Amino acid sequence: MQARHATVTIVGAGPRGLSVALYLLCEGQGMLRDVQVLERHAAAASWTAPAMPEAMRLRSPALHDLVAWHDPWRTWTFARFREAVLGGPPARPASLAALYGVSRREYHAYLQEVAERLGCVVPGAEVVAIERPQSAGADARSSTAADGLDLLVRCGGALRRLHSRWVVLATGMVGWGGGEFRRLPEEMTGGLEDGVHFSHSHGLTIAPLANAESVAVLGGGQSAAEAVARLLAETRVPVVWWLARRPPRPHLYPVPSQWFNDRHCGRFAGLPAEARRRLLAGALAWGPTISPFLHRELLHSPQPRLRTRFGCDVGAALPWRRRVRLMLRDGDMAQVDHLILATGYAFDVRRLPFLRPVLGDLLVDGPYPVLDEDFRAVTRAGAAPLPLFFTGAAAVLRDGPRQLFVNSSGVTAKRILAGMQRLFTTERSGNGSRSLQPAFLQRHESVRTSKP
Ligand SMILES: Cc1cc2nc3c(=O)[nH]c(=O)nc-3n(C[C@H](O)[C@H](O)[C@H](O)COP(=O)(O)OP(=O)(O)OC[C@H]3O[C@@H](n4cnc5c(N)ncnc54)[C@H](O)[C@@H]3O)c2cc1C
């Protein structure tokens, strides 16, 4: 399949991009079914190693999939795939336990099957720039949303300019091969060499560490736990240190569970931006938590090679020949061969390279684009609207932290479809150049426009 001009182009074939394609194909009217998903790697590549450990088990339950809970298309759910294709437990399991601990392999197979059934995913097509169309006149900035967008797409070494009426960005945060959003604290990495002294848990490859005498993993969340588990299972490193500020808590959810509730997220979306920022910071600081099964495996069964030091604060990491010295704030010091930073991710829309041509027109709030009720990008005063939607990490300030997970892919896709359909109808009735959603702008009272 080749990248082409299409009414709707979705960028990214992770769970969220696939979910939007699924809704458009199943429920979109007329031209909205003319959909393609451009993917720089292969469909669902973010669910393979090295982005995710081979033996990983999901934290999210089997019901968190690409289709909203109340929708009729049960043939598209993970639970149906597990039962019908993999011969797993029934789609509506009798016990809650059957919902948890799904393997990454199964979930990846499910995403691949969805991509194949949809038949509109173009692998190996990387979007390198999104621009207002050149044909819209001498000054492309004067184009309207109805003019669509141009996409510069790299396919097999060649660059092509394609046009789309609508663009949906579903490029995620940890997508395979990216790593753009790794959080690397300056005091840990200042004098250290990436790959020699330290690695981030994103896309971690364990093999080069096989001969190390000691490795330290820093962080108290799921990624830290997974790195520790891999070091113990896949290497013979005699000493594996696990350092964290707080002892990791076992919990099914990575953020408080109300954030997976549709009504709660609906109320959140209606709050002023300042209140949303405050609530979001609280939700994201709730951790560190790790899945109960990994907590049991690492901290409640004997692990002779594992040394834990919880409640410790590492002030700095310094190079010492080819080793690393960890300076603890309590005055202590530890020396290891390698440091794994499981320090998480920090999304920032201003660092999406392909957005640069239109970034100046987007209204941003800190690291997030301001999105309206339908997950459509809101533009700055004076800039023409853009036919651009976001789902996933970019939509966290709009919808809450569930956008960082598979959960809510379906409900978000549904809103995007509704938004496109409404705009399509409005345009056809002659109000296409209507300016920005004024009520929404008023509510988003305090807008930050700082540079990255
Ligand atoms: C170790 C680990 C464990 C996790 N466990 C869970 C879990 O148990 N449950 C859960 O819900 N979530 C989990 N997550 C988070 C998970 O990654 C997200 O929930 C999910 O993948 C987000 O989907 P997405 O479609 O938004 O983005 P992604 O899955 O990241 O997909 C984005 C896609 O966009 C593509 N892309 C990016 N830029 C371009 C471009 N310019 N052109 C074309 N294509 C592009 C990427 O190649 C990628 O395929 C985990 C993440 C990690 C790293």
Residue 412 DSSP label = H
Residue 381 DSSP label = T
Tell me if 14 CB under 6 Å of ligand 1: yes
Asked if 308 and 266 count as a contact pair (C-beta separation under 8 A), the reply is no
Tell me if 59 CB under 6 Å of ligand 1: yes
Q: Which amino acid, 173?
A: M
* Distance of CA 175 from the midpoint of ligand 1 (Å): 5
Give the pLDDT of residue 447: 39
CB atoms within 10 A of CB 422: 12
Asked if 231 and 237 count as a contact pair (C-beta separation under 8 A), the reply is yes
Give the pLDDT of residue 434: 42
Residue 193 DSSP label = P
Indicate if the pLDDT at residue 442 is higher than 70: no
Atom index in ligand 1 nearest the CA of residue 391 equals: 26
Tell me if 405 CB under 6 Å of ligand 1: yes
Q: What ranges in 308-376 are assigned the alpha helix state H?
A: 356-359
Tell me if 355 CB under 6 Å of ligand 1: no
CB atoms within 10 A of CB 7: 20
Asked if 436 and 383 count as a contact pair (C-beta separation under 8 A), the reply is no
Beta-strand ranges (E) seen in 382-422 are 388-390
Q: Find, among 246, 222, 249, 248, the residue nearest to 312 by Cα.
A: 246
Determine which of 25-34, 171-180, 220-229, 302-311 has the lowest per-residue pLDDT on average: 171-180
* Distance of CA 20 from the midpoint of ligand 1 (Å): 14
Q: Which two tokens stand for residue 132?
A: 């207002």
What value does the mean pLDDT take over residues 40-45? 95
Higher per-residue pLDDT: 426 or 278: 278
Per cent of the chain over pLDDT 70 is: 92
Atom index in ligand 1 nearest the CA of residue 64 equals: 11
Nearest residue by C-alpha to atom 31 in ligand 1: 14
* Distance of CA 260 from the midpoint of ligand 1 (Å): 18
Domains of the chain: 6-176+347-443 (3.50.50.60), 186-248+288-341 (3.50.50.60)
Out of 10-14, 50-54, 96-100, 293-297, give the one with best mean pLDDT. 10-14
Q: Probe ligand 1: pick from 10, 40, 114, 230, max atoms within 8 Å of CB?
A: 40
Higher per-residue pLDDT: 296 or 53: 296
Nearest residue by C-alpha to atom 48 in ligand 1: 175
Q: Probe ligand 1: pick from 406, 407, 411, max atoms within 8 Å of CB?
A: 406
Give the pLDDT of residue 440: 41
Tell me if 170 CB under 6 Å of ligand 1: yes
Q: Which residues fall within 8 angstroms of residue 105, CB to CB, at 6 or more apart?
A: 54
* Distance of CA 1 from the midpoint of ligand 1 (Å): 22
Indicate if the pLDDT at residue 260 is higher than 70: yes
pTM: 0.91
